[in-house]
Structures are given as C-alpha cells and as structure tokens.
Amino acid sequence: MQLHIKDTFNKELPSDPITDNSRRQVSEATHSYVSPRIPSQPKLIHASTAMANAIGLEEDAIKSNDFLDIFSGSKIYPKTKPYAMAYAGHQFGNWAGQLGDGRAINLFEVEENHKRWAIQLKGSGETPYSRQGDGLAVLRSSIREYLCSEAMHHLGVPTTRALSLMVSGDDVLRDMLYNGNADYEKGAIVARVAPTFIRFGNFELFAARNDIKNLKNLPITP
C-alpha cells in the first residue's frame, strides 16, 4: 500500500520533548508524538471507496492487510510519526485551557492530485491530552460519526470525511445513559480525513499563553 506522504505540521512546528502518552500539561509545543494503542483483534466493518480513491488508494488496497494494520493503529506507516495536537478552548461557557486531541491520533498527511489530506484515528488510545478519558471509542458512536460525516459532506456541509470504520476487538467501559450503570461495549476506531485538523483552538492556546512565536508559526491554511 503506497501513499504519497507529505507531512508538514509535525515536521515544521515544535513538538513536545516528552514522547510517552502520559497525561500532562504541554508547553511551547504544537503537538506531542504518541503511539496508537494496538487493538487485540481489529476487523474492518466498512471503508469509503471514494475517500480511499481521494487519498490515492485503489479498491484492492482497502482489502489488504496493510490497510487493516495502518488504519486500526496496529502498525505505523513507514517513516511517519503519529502525533496528537495541542489546542485550547471553552467548555460549557467557561475557559478550559489546554484541551487537545484526547481521543484522536494524527497518522500523517498525504498529497494526491494536488490536494492535501490529513488522516487521523479516533478511538486509538490515550494521549497527553486525554485528561480523565481513556482515548477509546465505542461502536455505536463510531457508526454515528462515520455515517453522519459522509452524509453532511454529500449535503454540501464542510466537515471531516470518513475513510474507514473498524472494531478493535476490545471491550470499552461506558455509562451509556449517564445514570451510573456503566457496562462494556464493543470498541471501535474511525479513520477520518480532512484538509487540515488545525482549528481555532490551536491559535487560542498560544494566544492565551502569550506565546507569540508559536502563534505566528501556525499555518492559516493547509
């Protein structure tokens, strides 16, 4: 499986010098290098042929072991370094400070037909920004995201795109109804795609810290 890797965000911007996935406050860095959690028994549920074609993959590649391994987080694509982005923002009307990719891990950026795409996994384990979370996702919410993101795209609403949906083979503890009765559900991983995952919160983080140098370094467009 060959992809045209064109990493820029993690190549051109400062990274966190600590390289483990432990939760912490990260300063003077736009991202932290992390390792996706290896799922016990990943299985492909569905993949978008259109999105695969957009990043340079033919239908045969979707059926390959490489596709399963890379987009489940079981293996890392050669010469790439997965990372989680640092950003800040508000929650429930209050300034929350550092937030970041707590349940998403960016794999790499690709360029195909003069168009750039960033690809990340959602539900592939904890990062320094996970706070009290486990960085995992369950099948029911992953199906919802997978379907809704593609539906919104085809309705003309700019949003992330869905590349693939996999079950991890691991059980994830969740309180579905928020009533104190937590139970185990099937874990899942969504590979999602966008021209960039840079958001307003990336700029807010450095503005709040008066870190003008890193604020100016952030690209406005992908």
Q: What are the average pLDDT values for consecutive 10-residue runs of the chain, which has 222 residues?
A: 95 93 93 97 97 95 97 98 97 95 98 96 97 95 96 94 98 92 96 96 96 89 55
Q: What is the pLDDT of residue 150?
A: 93
Strands, E assignment, 99-174: 104-112, 115-122, 137-138, 161-174
DSSP 8-state class, residue 124? B
Nearest Cα to 42, choosing from 146, 127, 162, 124? Answer: 124
| pTM score of the predicted model | 0.94
Spatial distance between the Cα atoms of 36 and 76, rounded to a whole number of angstroms:
9
Neighbouring C-beta atoms of residue 156, cutoff 10 Å: 6
3-state secondary structure of 50: helix
Q: What is the pLDDT of residue 221?
A: 57
Let me know: does 16 contact 29? Beta carbons within 8 Å.
yes
Query: Do β-strands 161-174 and 183-194 pair in parallel, antiparallel, or remain unpaired?
Result: antiparallel
Direct distance between the N- and C-terminal alpha carbons of the chain, in angstroms, rounded to an integer: 24
Let me know: does 40 contact 143? Beta carbons within 8 Å.
no
Q: What is the pLDDT of residue 180?
A: 87
